[in-house]
Structure 1
């Protein structure tokens, strides 16, 4: 009789599979859990009736560091077994997730194939455990260097359009940084303040101060830097003169003292106004040469009197990446960011900055940039493969996000919202109304997938 029952069960499973009624993992949470603590996990299946009996199922667990829960090494292709309960379509289990790393849970049942035992996998769930400092933060991504009709961007694209396009690409925040124009970012902020959206934008500009060829981003400052040195030129000149007096003549050719001093003065003014001061694209090479003398760039990078510098920017990535890692090897752990420096919306999406932050307020984002809780991310335009450039700890977590969180959950919702935002900033009131029910969905992901 037992043999007949087994044959019948096997026949049912085969039939259900043939009919496309095979059970599959529909959703699971939380995906981000505290390290070295026990956490309850929920896994929900579609077509749960097609699952074998619970006594025929095994919930397997493996930690990416290759060790068992007791610290012993796991053998090749081995998993630990985790107790679980399953009712209807929902499985629950409690697991201790050791260390800060990736973990895998999968529900399997045995299946004989040609005399070999091969498990049937009914669902696989990837999750990540974080130590307390990172677990208290959330990952946000954004592009903070772009240009619009307010400077040398496309003349039919506003700052608002650029930022709305960033939302389509899965960003949580963006800053318009038009050349010599604080007003561009103000246009975007005014437009977005009237829209029901979770996308955030902040003040910004790309600064070109008198007598200084160094390009500088002002992010989040409470006033325009261009207006400051235009309206108060004597104050600027006096500050530059005082800063030049502090330069050691042995460290830098005298002809480069003025731009070096002017850069520091501008960076200081940005910070005075509550902003983040960024050294732009140190290896940008227009007209077959570095845009400022290499001696000046090297001096500025060694001194590090900025808040962050662009590790990734358009076509100047490779040397910037190499120099960034050399500086880190020297103990100069400057915050590095990734930007597109896009002059058209079609060029957005090739790089961004990932910031671990308490919230999307600018003060929190800025504080975490200064702490180094950020990483530059490069996106291959053809394959969409993403690469993180920065410290290993955040880079490991970012790599997990690229594969197991952003595409399936976050980015899809952002794209839907972004499509409507592009229309809304162009004046489509119907699109603006359609945004209302979407507001709050992206923040709610953290509520669901981050352990309580």
Structure 2
């Protein structure tokens, strides 16, 4: 943890970032919902360095999620801009797992002093929801004390299935594979019951070279905190290993079409899933449904191509997509298109 600043210097007046960038229309926005400065344990970057790294990574937004503090909320007003939205948040580090409170009020601190046996998680989550914030289960299988999430996913709005875990050299590992599998196993039941949790991916950046690996790409009605959180809640988002990876995924039934996070009323018509990918040389596209992985097909050598797969409402409750490198390492994954 960073020590306090010299108390002989006057404290700077807090300058909080705006919640919305004016003039930005509906579109896909790239961001990182799990970012630290040197105010967090293990962090090495100043706010200025984080803002510069976010812009260099091609991000439109970041969420500042220091460990159990809002101390840096007032440092971001001058660092945000027309090209970068800064969302205020916190990584809530409890004794039995971590979670992200994203989109909270300036200076708001979410209680972290409990474990799964204390039955206090609901009260903390409700407090975030009362301010319009989003609650994300963080790195569920992180391999260190308190890092493994012991709270059930149903307590949260979204699940971080892909976490950089401080490793820019290995952006996908066994811990992420386990988190994705756990989330994927519960997806069909959640959709059937009308309440599923979207997947997100973040860097958990603490050091240089980590930010934006991976990143969450959100379809939002504008570049603003409320619009982005609404897009994530609805599942209108997918995860990319970097800004170099582009994925477009839709499912069509007759003259009807739906995208990521949307519901397609297919009726008896055949459904055609279409994926367009760039930036994954010799990659492999895999289609997943409630029956697991049902089809895979390679991309061309340059990593740019279109893959189609046919199914039906009777065969598949949903379709989601994974794009992997030849080694099996993840390059991108989407939330589902739901068939009804």
TM-score range, shorter chain: 0.5 to 0.7
Aligned to 1:163, which of 51, 58, 75? 51
Matched, 1:329 2:329: no
Q: 1:311–1:376: 8 Å Cα contact kept in structure 2? A: no
Measure the CA separation in 2 of the matches of 1:137 and 1:328. Answer: 27
Matches within 5 A, 1:173-184: 173-184=61-72
Runs of at least 5 residues in structure 1 that lack an aligned partner in the other structure: 1-135, 231-235, 241-254, 404-452
The structure with the greater share of residues assigned to helix is 1
**Alignment TM-score, normalising by the size of structure 2:** 0.58
Alpha-carbon distance in 2 for matches of 1:206, 1:342:
12
- Indicate which of 257, 260, 273 corresponds to 1:394: 260
Provide closer, same or farther for how the CA distance between residues 335 and 370 of structure 1 changes in structure 2, counting only shifts above 3 A: same
Distance 1:327 1:321, change over 3 A: same
Q: Please name the residue that 2:92 is paired with.
A: 207
Contact 1:185 1:205 in 2 (8 A): no
Structure-2 change in CA distance of 1:349 and 1:229 (3 Å): closer
Alignment of 1:308 with 2:158, yes or no, is yes
Aligned match of 1:273: 131
- Note the C-alpha offset of 1:347: 1.5
Q: In terms of Rg, which structure is larger?
A: 1
Distance 1:178 1:262, change over 3 A: same
Distance 1:139 1:180, change over 3 A: same
**Contact (CA 8 Å) 1:225, 1:270: kept in 2 or not?**
no
Alignment of 1:188-207 (within 5 A): 188=76, 190-193=77-80, 197-207=82-92
Query: C-alpha distance in 2, partners of 1:321/1:274?
Result: 27
Q: Conserved in 1, the CA contact under 8 Å of 2:74 and 2:106?
A: no
Is the CA contact (8 Å cut-off) linking 2:231 and 2:237 kept in structure 1?
A: yes
Q: How does 1:82-93 map to 2 (within 5 A)?
A: none
Residue 149 of structure 1 corresponds to 38
Normalised by the length of structure 1, the TM-score is 0.44
Aligned residues: 226
- Aligned equivalents of 1:349 and 1:399: distance in 2? 22
- Corresponding residue SS for 1:269: helix
Listed as ranges, the matches of 1:304-383 within 5 Å are 304-314=154-164, 315=173, 316-332=175-191, 333-379=196-242
Partner of 1:291: 147
CA shift, 1:185, in A, is 3.5
1:81 — aligned with what?
none
Q: Distance in 2 between matches of 1:343 and 1:360?
A: 25
Report the alpha carbon displacement of residue 378 of structure 1 after superposing the two structures with TM.
2.9
RMSD: 3.4
Per the TM alignment, residue 203 of structure 1 is displaced from its structure 2 partner at its CA by 0.8
8 Å contact kept, 1:377–1:389 = no
Structure 2 unmatched runs, 5+: 1-24, 165-172, 252-257, 262-272, 281-340
